[in-house]
Structure 1
Amino acid sequence: AIGECAAWNGSIFGLVAPGYQMARGVAALLCNETAEPFMGADMSTKLKLLGVDVGSIGDAHGSTPGARSYQFIDETTASYRRLVVDATGKHVLGAVLVGDNSYYDTLLQYMQNAIALPAEPASLILPSSEGAPTLGPGALPEAATVCSCHNVTKGSICSAIDGGCTDLGLLKSQTKACTGCGGCAGLLKQVFEHELIARGVSVDKSLCEHFAYTRQELYALVRVEGVITFEELLAKHGRGHTGCDVCKPAVGSILASCWNQPIMDASLVPLQDTNDTFMANMQKNGTYSVVPRIPGGEITADKLIAIGVVAKKYDLYTKITGGQRIDLFGAQLHELPDIWAELIEAGFETGHAYGKSTRTVKSCVGSTWCRYGVQDSVQMALTIEDRYKGLRSPHKLKFAVSGCTRECAEAQSKDVGVIATEKGWNLYIAGNGGMRPRHAELFATDLDDATLIRYIDRFLMFYIRTADKLQRTSVWREGLEGGLDYLKDVIINDSLGLGEELESQMQRVVNRYECEWANALKDPEKLKRFRTFVNDKRPDPDIHFVQERGQRRPIMAAELNLIPVIEEIA
């Protein structure tokens, strides 16, 4: 017996790595070979529970005599971090992470390899800032475990490279690293590339096996050559005949950023991921959410009633989001066209909540209502959202406009933030919440309306042009050579002579905007996609519903057997 079927010293190990460790012992026993007996296992792991990232490392509860803890709570992002160190304050004993696992790999290496802590141990769990300690792949010892599932160390990776392995896919095959849970993918890539560079080997930055180019290079090829289909780009600059799940979404995003054609067109649909394919966010139970655009959070009574009518008719779970919108959950695939037909008739359009594109422009009520407001923040939010709605980019974009320095719209945590002054607008860029919270940076001050829009045009198109795939503006900005001063020189001073070109490219996207759902509803062929079964209009028989806090919640058939048990326990 191995894994969760086996109890050792009264303990059961519900992780894959201890199971593999036990399996190695069983295999050795069956083959009459000697092997180290199982002596317990490191239960460090990171998981996603009910949509929330959690991580546990080593002595997470601080039960070691003399252990001391550092804790950090960020209520704005609903994240919690606890670092447990030994009595000397020199080594990590364990850690707890809730809401943000981006610190996991670094803390795990400190614990597993007894790496000496910095002078201020708390800096390891505080938000990143200038001068914060980092643990790069070069600082890891040879014995450092990179893949805990298969017990692959940095030394094993180095041995494979010394043996001639210069391909990441081949490295995974040879060492089994990243073939278990996949949680070590980021660290494995960093170590692999660092060791190749250290040996004087050039690192291949190809997007994938089909394109020997980076995302930025492919963007330039599409823009300069006027490429409008994936097939054309693959034929001219790629290899193979079909592409893969890496290059297809990346090229699909590039084509949308450049030409803004309807993503449901027959030639573009195969490039989209699940959410874009059905123009809705798929939820964990197989249903979808519907998010109509509510520019700037401003909505009429009639439109509020229309949302209520739709939610009641289709029995949808409703929730007001942090971006001043109303989310409708629990829609089944075949219901999406009918729901959107009613919403569009009421004056709504798609909110692009499913796309790597402009999501929301949050606003306060500004000078129209607020006694502190110095500019009409609602009107500016409407202007910005109307201009950039539908703009596809390497990652999602969030905006906010505050009517004064009291910052009720929280503009300084957005990709693009605008704050009113008595003389105009202050522009902030490259902030975001989420996995790696980052405060936006003040970019320009006291701008008039036209100049503000011009700078945002240039900033967004320059980001789209030069960022890597799935790279937020914050990460892109941190890796930008020359930093904020360089970016100001490009956008404000037009040091590269790209200003007019970036503005005209943005204007082309703006001019071509069309509500994607309105476009799909006009085309019977596109509507055929919205069926659970290709040849049958029946709904998904595995989706069921229960009542929760006065609203209907979807539940999968497999969960139905748990309901009597839960009710009995309650």
Structure 2
Amino acid sequence: AAVVADRLSGGQATFAGADTSTELKLLGVGVASCGDPHAPGDEVVVADAATGTWQRVVLDAQGRVAGAALVGDTAAYPMLVQCVRGTVPTPDLLSLLRPRASGGTAPGPADLPDVAGVCSCHNVSCGTVRVAVQEGFDTVPGVKSATAAGTGCGSCVPVLQELVDAELAKAGRSVVKRLCPHFAMARPELFELVRASGTRSFAELVARHGTGQGCEICKPAVASMFASLGSGYILDGEQASLQDSNDHFLANIQRDGTYSVVPRVPGGEITPAQLIAIGEVARDFDLYTKITGGQRIDLLGARVEQLPAIWARLLEAGLESGHAYGKAVRTVKSCVGTTWCRYGVQDSTQLAIDLELRYRGLRAPHKLKFAVSGCARECAEAQSKDVGVIATERGWNLYVGGNGGMRPAHAELLAEDLATEALTRSIDRYLMWYVRTGERLERTATWQRNLPGGIDFVRRVVLEDELGIGAELEADMARHVASYRCEWQETLEDPARLARFVSFVNTDEPDPTVTHVRVRGQRIPAGAPS
């Protein structure tokens, strides 16, 4: 437009090309590119199969960033865009792409110079945003009104929030922790507001307590809150539009656009008839099968329109949804305990089954994994779980706040030699307290570590009821247990709910772009890395 205006007024400006840098979500996965990712030059590639991330940066002969492509983790995008534009020098790329691995902290939007652009739609620089904050426009909506930044495509809004927060902190002013730009409160405060007010409509919630129409951060977070508080089937009415990619079809989307099916196997115990049913389903639908680390069987490669038929067969065999697609309780892993093992001192399998059936379907800020070991030999690896239980001669030791993954954490001992009733009560309180006060996508390990007093405070609240909320937390859990229904069972009972499970709205034909090859006797996506 600037070139056209110049030419119409007699100028000689020429169009040198548009900035095609972009950041978006593709099938629920963050992707970004800037500059020319295919430019000749030296490449820096960081790939992590465990977390599903891949990042490549191309450097020209002078060591400047010529282009970059990011998949799964796009945190480095704002800095790389400025490197491509020449407004900042090339940083240490390992620190930028993998700050934890390099032992440092990645530079972020707050480190960008004033000349760096933050909003491409309206050509707004970081310096302009900082000046607006200094002049009293100290919220993202205020910055939008003063500078127009964030009023175009909206992709720069998270960067605006970081710039506003950094400028306020620099001035010694308090920084309001926000769930997202649409809610001026963190998740715990918003959850308490939803719980206390009884609000079960996102439109009503954002109209009364937020701004705008919501985003990909606050919508799934609020949907999870509604589910945690027992608001019914998660895909009915307005709630359907709030769900994240996986919850939208009650299944985990895979790299080729197909889905995985994971039936619940409480405590890892499964009957021969159920094993046969799973095998027959896998055979008839030509699904890839794999044993998971949580003692379940994963069936991969199902097309979306096949999901109802697959689940009808599995439900008929006495299986139910394993909620592998949700930020929810996943599995309770166990050893065989006193039933078979000569070292076992308690019936760990029965306890694992009881716990999984009690907490199944519970939505939380992040996924939850449990394990129960029947003796101190710890075959179920309970001390690496969000909730771990180890049998003793006198009862059960309870460990909390562990996890595997990219940042492993060892669970901490909460209580020793608990009777089964006291153990269950303690887990009830711990889980519901976490559901109420955890931040979005915050594992129990991080939540627990960030609490004032850490595990000692957790012990006082859960075991001694220091905050006086024990009865409330137990009542919340009792309501969850009483109201649980398998989401796939509910889906199959209602033709209207089944209507969403199609690849295309205007044809029954399957997606022709989904192709497969056979490897080791099973079907896998064509083009999958070997």
Q: Same fold (TM over 0.5)?
A: yes
- Structure 1 residue 285, shift from structure 2 partner: 2.0
Task: Give CA deviations for 1:15-47 in whole Å, capped at 9, x if unaligned.
Answer: xxxxxxxxxxxxx9xx9x9xxxxxxxxxxx9x9
3-state SS of paired residue (2:415): strand
Q: Does 1:216 align with 2:188?
A: yes
Q: 1:541 to 1:53 in 2, by over 3 A?
A: closer
Tell me whether 1:469 sits opposite 2:440 in the alignment.
Answer: yes
Which of 324, 344, 348 aligns to 1:377? It is 348
- Amino acid of the residue matched to residue 253 of structure 1? S
Please state if 1:193 is matched with 2:165: yes
Q: Deviation at 1:284?
A: 2.7
Shift of 1:363: 1.9
Q: Which of 467, 479, 485 is the aligned partner of 2:450?
A: 479
Match of 1:428 in 2: 399
2:38 counterpart residue number: none
CA distance in structure 1 between the aligned counterparts of 2:153 and 2:196, rounded to whole angstroms: 41
Q: Provide the rounded CA distance (Å) in 1 between the counterparts of 2:291 and 2:99.
A: 31
**For the residues of structure 2 that align with 1:126 and 1:239, how far apart are their CA atoms?**
34
Matched-pair contact (CA < 8 Å) for 1:287–1:331: yes
Asked whether the 8 Å contact 1:77–1:433 carries over to 2, the reply is no
SS in 2 for 1:398: strand
2:415 aligned residue = 445
1:240 Cα deviation after fit: 7.0
Relative to structure 1, the CA distance from residue 224 to residue 305 in structure 2 (aligned partners, 3 Å threshold; closer, same or farther) is same
Tell me whether 1:495 sits opposite 2:457 in the alignment. no
SS at 1:492 equivalent: helix
What is the RMSD computed on CA atoms of the aligned residues? 5.5
Whether 2:320 is the aligned partner of 1:352: answer no
Instruction: Provide closer, same or farther for how the CA distance between residues 273 and 377 of structure 1 changes in structure 2, counting only shifts above 3 A.
Output: same
Q: Which of 239, 242, 261 matches 1:290?
A: 261
Cα drift, residue 146 of structure 1:
9.3
C-alpha contact (below 8 Å) 2:268/2:334 kept by paired residues? yes
Distance in 2 (CA, whole Å) between partners of 1:544 and 1:144 is 41
Structure 1 residue identity aligned to 2:273: D
Q: Tell me whether 1:528 sits opposite 2:492 in the alignment.
A: no
Q: Secondary structure at the match of 2:300?
A: strand
Give the direction of change, closer, same or farther, for the CA distance of 1:74–1:384 in structure 2 (3 Å limit): farther
3-state DSSP of counterpart to 2:451: coil
Give yes or no for contact 1:334–1:537 (8 Å, CA) kept in 2: no
1:296 deviates by 1.6
In 2, Cα distance between equivalents of 1:128 and 1:446: 38
Question: Which residue type is aligned with residue 318 of structure 2?
Answer: G
**Separation (CA, whole Å) in 2 of partners of 1:405 and 1:152:** 60
Q: How far does the alpha carbon of each residue in 1:416-468 deviate from its partner, in whole angstroms, 9 at most, with x for none?
A: 1222233322222222233x514234232323211111111111111111122
| TM-score normalised over the length of structure 1 | 0.70
Structure 1 residue 384: deviation in Å? 1.2
Distance in 2 between residues matched to 1:322 and 1:370, nearest whole Å: 21
Equivalent residue number for residue 293 of structure 2? 322
Q: Are residues 1:404 and 2:381 paired?
A: no
Which one-letter code corresponds to 1:218 in the other structure? Answer: L
For structure 2, list consecutive stretches of 5 or more residues without a partner in the other structure: 1-5, 12-22, 33-41, 55-69
Residue type matched to 1:352 in 2?
A: H
Cα deviation for residue 191 of structure 1 reads 4.9
Pick aligned residue for 2:516 from 528, 538, 546: 546
Contact map agreement 2:448 2:454 (CA 8 A) in 1: yes
Query: 2:200 corresponds to which residue?
Result: 229
Mapped partners of 2:355, 2:134: distance in 1: 53
Q: How many Å separate the matches in 1 of 2:205 and 2:30?
A: 38
1:552 partner SS? strand
Report the 3-state secondary structure (helix = DSSP H, G, I; strand = E; otherwise coil) of the residue aligned with 2:229.
helix
Matched, 1:392 2:363: yes
Aligned residue pairs, count: 517
Say which of 274, 288, 291 aligns to 2:245. Answer: 274
Contiguous gaps of at least 5 residues in structure 1: 1-27, 34-44, 55-63, 65-72, 81-97, 556-562
**Percentage identity across aligned positions?**
48
Q: Displacement, 1:370?
A: 3.2
Question: What is the CA–CA distance in structure 2 between the aligned matches of 1:274 and 1:288, rounded to whole Å?
Answer: 11
Moved more, 437-446 or 346-355: 437-446
Preserved CA contact (<8 Å) 1:350 1:516: yes
Q: Which residue number in structure 2 is paired with residue 3 of structure 1?
A: none
TM-score normalised according to structure 2 size: 0.75
For residues 519-570 of structure 1, the C-alpha deviation after alignment (integer angstroms, 9 at most, x for no partner) is 1111111111112233x45133323432231222345xxxxxxx8xx9xxx9
Distance between the aligned counterparts of 1:524 and 1:77, measured in 2? 37
In the alignment, the residues of structure 1 paired with residue 447 and residue 124 of structure 2 have an alpha-carbon distance, to the nearest angstrom, of: 31
Aligned equivalents of 2:398 and 2:116: distance in 1? Answer: 44
Specify whether residues 319 and 507 from structure 1 end up closer, same or farther in structure 2 by C-alpha distance, changes over 3 A only.
same
From the superposition, tell whether residues 262 and 79 of structure 1 become closer, same or farther in structure 2 (CA, over 3 Å).
closer
CA distance in 1, matches of 2:414, 2:229: 27
Q: Does the C-alpha gap of structure 1 residues 476 and 228 become closer, same or farther in structure 2, counting only changes over 3 Å?
A: same
Deviations 1:129-166 (A, max 9, x none): 9xx98989989998999999x99997676445335553
Q: 1:247 & 1:170 partners in 2: Cα distance?
A: 20
